[in-house]
Amino acid sequence: MKKKKRSWAEPYKIKTVELIEMKDLKEREEAIVEAGFNTFLLKSKDVYIDLLTDSGTSAMSDLQWAAMMRGDESYAGSKNFYELEDTVKKFYGYKHLVPTHQGRGAENIMSQILIKKGDFIPGNMYFTTTRLHQEMAGGQFIDVIVDEAHDPENTFPFKGNVDIEKMQELVDRVGADRVPYISLEGNVNMAGGQPFSIANLKELHAFCKKHNILIMLDATRTVENAYFIKIQEKGYEDKSIEEILLEICSYTDGCTISAKKDCLVNIGGFFACNDDEIYRRAQNLVVIYEGLHTYGGLAGRDMAAMAQGIRESVMFEHQQARVGQVKYLGEQIRDYGVPIVEPVGSHAIFLNAGKILSHLDQDEYPAQTLSAELYIENGIRSMERGNVSAGRDPGTGQNRRPKLELIRLTIPRRVYTQAHMDVVAESVAAVYERRKNIKGLEMTYEPEYLRFFQSRFKRKK
């Protein structure tokens, strides 16, 4: 008799579908050449399964769509702002809210307020836009994530943890007064979607209190981090995601967030904090870059959809299916022997392009190459997260050549089915099989900022 098992299933049924089309091989080859071998420059009509990002790509629920109809589009004092403010207070615990058009809008404002020229900003690994805003405000990013996070094969369950010794070394070297805050990210994107533990956060909190350093959370995927704490940290099994999220935020002083991920909306973000003076300054700055402080670049209906999205994001069944789907894809790909970042995180499968295309030099952009090949193979769009994303060192002007040379297959929330995941795994396996014959790339155009978005390449001879 077959062993009894209990599967999870999505806690929803599908009400609307969007048709997708697979272009033939010749069309795909033409499309990637036209896009300069950069998947950001592909047209979405040429993409079959779009795993570029989980940012703004979620399917909204009927309740979110209904909330959009309740959008109050007043310029000032929209009722949706007050509803969102209450919701953020209830689920994240912060006293003050400043909405922004997306995450980087909030990062801009926070960096300008908290960073002085010559400051150092430690963080549990960099994120592209976050670090750039820190640098533009005159700060220097310092990586203080645990060493395990830089090793794609290490299976440590909390690779998002901060190495407190690295914090101590920084403080000893530059002095605590030049470290205004630590930028702490939940489910660290660039490390593979890896969580921190509450135990580590408590330790960090004690350290920061002692040295008068703020903890500013990048809460973009922190509900997913809370889910990982529930399923893997001792003592948290019986707590709800809602309780864990509040506990995480209680050890921090504020956050920036791209609401386009956890919060299940297509656009939006915010800055939140507890300090009245920081809030006053954020409220003032937002009017320069985003809009009045009660809409921050969003329509009233966007704020309404976000508030409902936050309520849905903390539901256990939602996170179980969300993370379960990513894990399922990871298992399929691993079964084909393809090297991936371990352990599988919450939002994506990261293929170890450096290892798969080990015959290429890092300056032949193995990850960029692999991402283009996966598109050619079957119309699947992924994202480079390696040498191109890391950019150049502002000091030396050389490529940063990061330890992690990865491509990211990012799963939008509530969008694709398990059958799509099977097709993705089979396509990855097909590229893996022909890996030895794959040639690297040469950069032909390099923009000044965040080059991965718009740089162009050609195939090396």
Interface contacts to ligand F0G, rule CB under 6 A: 53, 55, 102-104, 127, 129-130, 185, 189, 218, 220, 258, 260, 269
70 catalytic per annotation: no
Cβ closest to ligand F0G, residue 154 vs residue 266: 266
Cβ closest to ligand F0G, residue 295 vs residue 432: 295
Cβ closest to ligand F0G, residue 290 vs residue 373: 290
Cβ closest to ligand F0G, residue 222 vs residue 319: 222
Half-sphere exposure (CA, 13 Å, Cβ side) for 123?
A: 25
Q: Of residues 92, 279, 452, 457, which has the active-site annotation?
A: 452
CB count within 10 Å of CB 138 equals 13
141 catalytic per annotation: no
369 catalytic per annotation: no
CB of 358 to ligand F0G, least distance (A): 26
CB of 220 to ligand F0G, least distance (A): 4
CB of 187 to ligand F0G, least distance (A): 8
Cβ closest to ligand F0G, residue 126 vs residue 432: 126
CB of 108 to ligand F0G, least distance (A): 9
Q: Of residues 81, 127, 236, 457, which has the active-site annotation?
A: 127
CB of 26 to ligand F0G, least distance (A): 29
Cβ closest to ligand F0G, residue 123 vs residue 300: 123
Tally of residues, the chain: 461
Q: Of residues 261, 311, 413, 451, which has the active-site annotation?
A: 261
> How far, in Å, CA of 386 to CA of 440, rounded?
14
Amino acid at 248: I
- Which tokens is 9 given? 């299933």
207 catalytic per annotation: no
Note whether 219 and 345 are within 8 A (CB). no
Indicate the Cα dihedral angle 237, 241, 243, 246, nearest 10°. 130
> Nearest to residue 425, comparing CAs of 328, 322, 355, 357?
328
> Nearest to residue 221, comparing CAs of 100, 345, 110?
345
SS (H, E, C) 127-183: CHHHHHHHHHCCCEEEECECHHHHCCCCCCCCCCCECHHHHHHHHHHHCHHHCCEEE
50 catalytic per annotation: no
Comparing every residue's Cβ against ligand F0G, the nearest one is: 103
**Nearby residues of 2 by Cβ (< 8 Å), 6 or more positions away:** none
Q: Of residues 75, 445, 449, 453, which has the active-site annotation?
A: 75
CB of 224 to ligand F0G, least distance (A): 11
Q: Of residues 119, 163, 218, 302, which has the active-site annotation?
A: 218
Q: Of residues 385, 408, 413, 451, which has the active-site annotation?
A: 385
54 catalytic per annotation: no
Q: Of residues 53, 57, 100, 128, which has the active-site annotation?
A: 128
Amino acid at 448: E
Cβ closest to ligand F0G, residue 218 vs residue 233: 218
128 catalytic per annotation: yes
CB of 130 to ligand F0G, least distance (A): 5
- CA angle at 129 for the pair 97 and 321, rounded to the nearest 5°: 70
- Which tokens is 383 given? 């994202």
> How far, in Å, CA of 220 to CA of 461, rounded?
41
> How far, in Å, CA of 272 to CA of 300, rounded?
18
> How far, in Å, CA of 98 to CA of 245, rounded?
19
Beta strands 140-143 and 181-185: pairing type?
Answer: unpaired
Element spanning 456, H or E: strand 456-459
Active site residues: 75, 127-128, 218, 261, 385, 452
